[in-house]
């Protein structure tokens, strides 16, 4: 039986070291890739929507979606680690117009005379489910009935009543009723551990002019900016 020479043993050892190094590097690459995918999946995204169908116009094309972004285009916004994220960043943006309305305050929208840059439009009855994946600790927004951009329009001026309801994994976290006579109300709610956050709007006596808007809707990651809780 032939004996293995020391030089051959050295070459075999080097080959084994190279093999284990490549294997270890591949595993580390897989872990980093999967962790990156997991991080991306934990960004809040719209899971599903239900309810009243409102036809709105985006770039000259009619689109039919219960959840619609009004105001500034959130896709152009950037956020650093720990900063709050706007809910609905993946929803197609549309300007404040519909098949019945004129341009909405040059891309902004108004609640009881106050102008906002960003909001989620959720006509009652409506429900939007956002997947948080347990990655956020707080949600904040300002809610109200949007004013009709038509100066002679009645919506938001003499009509409109909606109950805004926020639930986390089926548990009610916060709720408030707003009508056309009231200013926007801002709130902040603890959503620690919540997997699915649901924004729901319930109509009053009718669905006429129930133009419910969740203005500046944001979720906050752990260690981010702190805001005070609102009463349930």
Same domain? For 47 and 36 the reply is no
Same domain? For 23 and 99 the reply is no
The gap from C-alpha 105 to its chain's centroid, in whole angstroms, comes to 23
Neighbours of 132 (CB within 10 A): 25
Same domain? For 176 and 94 the reply is yes
49 — pLDDT class (breaks 50, 70, 90): low
**Is residue 160 predicted with pLDDT exceeding 90?**
no
Same domain? For 159 and 201 the reply is yes
116 — pLDDT class (breaks 50, 70, 90): confident
Per-residue pLDDT tens over the stretch 53-74: 433 333 333 333 345 544 444 4
In a domain, 4, yes or no: yes
Query: Collapsing DSSP states into helix, strand and coil, what is residue 21?
Result: helix
Residue 110 CA to residue 215 CA, distance in Å, equals 10
Per-residue pLDDT tens over the stretch 188-209: 999 999 998 988 888 888 778 8
Domain residues for the domain of 1 are: 1-40
Same domain? For 7 and 115 the reply is no
Query: Collapsing DSSP states into helix, strand and coil, what is residue 65?
Result: coil
Q: pLDDT value at position 176?
A: 95
In a domain, 158, yes or no: yes
In a domain, 212, yes or no: yes
Q: pLDDT value at position 70?
A: 47
Same domain? For 115 and 4 the reply is no
Dihedral of alpha carbons 52, 55, 59, 61, sign: positive
Into how many domains does the chain fold? 2
In a domain, 229, yes or no: no
Same domain? For 32 and 47 the reply is no
In a domain, 226, yes or no: no
Given the structure tokens 């056309």, which residue do they identify?
Answer: 180
List Cα–Cα distances, 224 to 4, 80, 81, 116, 168, in angstroms: 62, 10, 8, 23, 20
Same domain? For 105 and 151 the reply is yes
Same domain? For 35 and 86 the reply is no
DSSP result, 100-124: T----GGG-EEETTEEESEEEEEPS
In a domain, 231, yes or no: no
25 — pLDDT class (breaks 50, 70, 90): low
Across 16-20, 36-40, 96-100, 151-155, which has the greatest mean pLDDT? 151-155
Span 93-107, mean pLDDT?
Answer: 44
Same domain? For 114 and 205 the reply is yes
In a domain, 230, yes or no: no
In a domain, 164, yes or no: yes
With 0.75 as the threshold, say if the pTM is over it.
Answer: no
């Amino acid at each position: 039986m032939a004996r293995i020479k020391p030089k051959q043993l050295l070459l075999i050892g080097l080959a084994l070291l190279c093999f284990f190094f490549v294997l270890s590097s591949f595993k580390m690459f897989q872990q980093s890739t999967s962790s990156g995918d997991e991080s991306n999946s934990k960004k809040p995204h719209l899971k599903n929507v239900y309810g009243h169908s409102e036809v709105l116009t985006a770039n000259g094309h009619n689109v039919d979606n219960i959840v619609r972004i009004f105001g500034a285009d959130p896709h152009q916004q950037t956020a650093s680690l720990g900063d709050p994220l706007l809910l609905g960043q993946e929803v197609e943006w549309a300007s404040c117009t519909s098949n019945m309305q004129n341009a909405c305050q040059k891309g902004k929208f108004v609640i009881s005379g106050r102008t906002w840059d960003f909001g989620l439009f959720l006509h009652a009855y409506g429900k939007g489910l956002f997947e948080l994946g347990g990655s956020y600790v707080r949600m904040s927004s300002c809610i109200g009935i949007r004013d009709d951009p038509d100066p002679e329009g009645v919506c938001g001026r003499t009509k409109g009543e909606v109950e805004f309801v926020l639930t986390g994994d089926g548990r009610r976290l916060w709720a408030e009723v707003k009508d056309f006579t009231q200013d926007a109300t801002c709130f902040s709610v603890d959503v620690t551990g919540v997997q699915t956050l649901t924004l729901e709007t319930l109509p009053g006596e009718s669905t006429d002019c129930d133009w419910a808007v969740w203005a500046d809707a944001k979720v906050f990651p752990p260690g981010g900016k702190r805001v005070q809780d609102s009463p349930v």
